[in-house]
Structure 1
Amino acid sequence: MTPTAFVNALSELKLDNVFNPYSDVCAVHDRADAAFARRRNLKGYLRAAVSMGVDTIWMGRDLGYRGGRRTGLALTDEFHLPEMTQRYPGTNFKQATLGPAVAERTASEIWSVLRSLTLPPLLWNVFPFHPHEPNNPFSNRKFTARELLLVDDLNEKLIKWLNIRRIVAIGQDASQYSSRFGLEVITIRHPSYGGVTDFRNGMSELYDIPCQYFKSKKDQGVLF
């Protein structure tokens, strides 16, 4: 498996009411070359993960319309692309959309912890696309069982290819899914819906880092 082969396999999947950021272009927000830019971003990210010897995945559920739909990168919004470039050597992430960078609350919390780590994890999702409600592309919904089956093999290949040893599941959906791979799985509450304190406490315990070191963009006065 190579980054190019993996990203190409992702880009070939087409599903109803699912935005594939590696092949689809949003008529409202995207630049004309947005799908190409997101493929390039993900390829560079995977190359960096291999080079760094990343052995842990932080796994969320799926891409959100304010975050991964726009960047093509799990748990990462446009606001954190420059910081992501700094944390993953050899990358140069580019915004694929028009206008100012958009921030997302979940990504802000993820990055509040990630910037405190010496070796960052690979950020990934159970379902690596953006599922949305019919006729409402800027909404979020959970993937279906049928949709999940279509990406299961790719997720397994990614984990084996990168020699992943541990999965930090962000939320119960990711936790239940991750158990199938026979790896160590640590479940942390998702920061959405009032879970910020539990999320930070869980990460603090896992990485032995005091919570006061976790300062999100929201804490710094960034509007969402």
Structure 2
Amino acid sequence: MSAVDTARFWSLLRELPAPDDAEFLYGADDAGRLRTRNLLRYLELIARNRPRVMLVGEAPGHRGHTISGISFTSVRQLTARPGLITGDPDGDGFEVPADPAFGWEASSAVVWGAMAGWRGALPLFWPIYPHHPHEPGRPATNRTPRASEVAAGTPVALALAEAFAVTTVVAVGRKAQGALARNGVEAVAVRHPAQGGARIFATQLAELNVGLAAEG
């Protein structure tokens, strides 16, 4: 397929202000450049199979996305052999920080575990709020994004969905579902895998996949 034009997505992402208790992940420092390269690689690989489903989460977690640059993805997924996206025995070609603070995230494990049985092109992943919200002065924590942050971040997610011509949007959690609905997007809602929701999430996603496969 022709290259996906993500210019508007990147423009909106970089223009979105980050308050003192949230981190912009794709800056000019070493960690930011690594995340950017990983996200570009991820989007390139996902685009090859023309995904029509997008999973929209809540916000980057400090054990996963904040390190990898990719939603619902921790160092464990970056280093998977064979590659989770390509099936390449050498992996998917992602970069790993020299000394990552965390190597594993529960939500990432659940989401990618569910992908092992996914039929068809893998879904596209992205959060409704793209910066990492954390407790003041404690970047190695997570906090729930504010309503204003979710509202401000929604256009970034919608720009990515538009770039990929996504036809089915899946909201992972109520915050994502509500924000999408306020923007005229009727998303399928599934339980967030965190805080005891892993089994329900996996079941709901499997049922959705069966339904989509039946539709062709």
The TM-score bracket by the shorter chain reads 0.7 to 0.9
Shift of 1:150: 3.0
The DSSP-based 3-state class of the residue aligned with 2:38 is helix
The residue number in structure 1 matching 2:10 is: 7
Instruction: Please list the CA deviations of residues 96-129 of structure 1 after superposition, one character each: whole Å capped at 9, or x if unmatched.
Output: 3515861011111001111222421001111112
Shift of 1:79: 0.6
Alignment of 1:20 with 2:18, yes or no, is no
Q: In structure 2, do the counterparts of structure 1 residues 145 and 51 end up closer, same or farther at CA, with 3 Å as the change threshold?
A: same
Unpaired runs of at least 5, structure 2? 212-216
Asked whether the 8 Å contact 1:61–1:127 carries over to 2, the reply is yes
Alignment of 1:35 with 2:32, yes or no, is yes
Deviates more, 1:64-73 or 1:84-93: 84-93
Asked whether the 8 Å contact 2:169–2:188 carries over to 1, the reply is yes
Shift of 1:183: 4.6
The DSSP-based 3-state class of the residue aligned with 1:169 is strand
The residue number in structure 1 matching 2:95 is: 94
Unpaired runs of at least 5, structure 1? 26-32, 210-224
Question: Aligned residues: percent identity?
Answer: 26
Cα distance in 2, alignment partners of residues 65 and 101 from structure 1: 8
Instruction: Please list the CA deviations of residues 149-184 of structure 1 after superposition, one character each: whole Å capped at 9, or x if unmatched.
Output: 432322222111111111121111122222245455
| Equivalent in 39, 42, 50 of residue 53 of structure 1 | 50
Shift of 1:203: 2.1
The residue number in structure 2 matching 1:109 is: 110
Cα distance in 2, alignment partners of residues 146 and 187 from structure 1: 21
- Equivalent runs, 1:1-224 vs 2, <5 Å: 2-3=5-6, 6-7=9-10, 9-16=12-19, 17-23=21-27, 33-83=30-80, 86-89=83-86, 91-99=92-100, 102-118=103-119, 119-208=121-210
AA aligned opposite 2:128: V
The residue number in structure 2 matching 1:216 is: none
Asked whether the 8 Å contact 1:3–1:47 carries over to 2, the reply is no
Cα distance in 2, alignment partners of residues 181 and 167 from structure 1: 13
**Normalized against structure 2, the TM-score is what?**
0.81
Q: In structure 2, do the counterparts of structure 1 residues 142 and 51 end up closer, same or farther at CA, with 3 Å as the change threshold?
A: same
Q: In structure 2, do the counterparts of structure 1 residues 144 and 101 end up closer, same or farther at CA, with 3 Å as the change threshold?
A: closer
The residue number in structure 1 matching 2:214 is: none
Q: In structure 2, do the counterparts of structure 1 residues 78 and 172 end up closer, same or farther at CA, with 3 Å as the change threshold?
A: same
The DSSP-based 3-state class of the residue aligned with 2:58 is strand
Asked whether the 8 Å contact 2:60–2:127 carries over to 1, the reply is yes
**Normalized against structure 1, the TM-score is what?**
0.79
What root-mean-square deviation, in Å, do the aligned CA atoms of Structure 1 and Structure 2 show?
Answer: 2.6
Cα distance in 1, alignment partners of residues 56 and 32 from structure 2: 23
Instruction: Please list the CA deviations of residues 24-58 of structure 1 after superposition, one character each: whole Å capped at 9, or x if unmatched.
Output: 75xxxxxxx22111111111222223322111111
AA aligned opposite 2:9: F
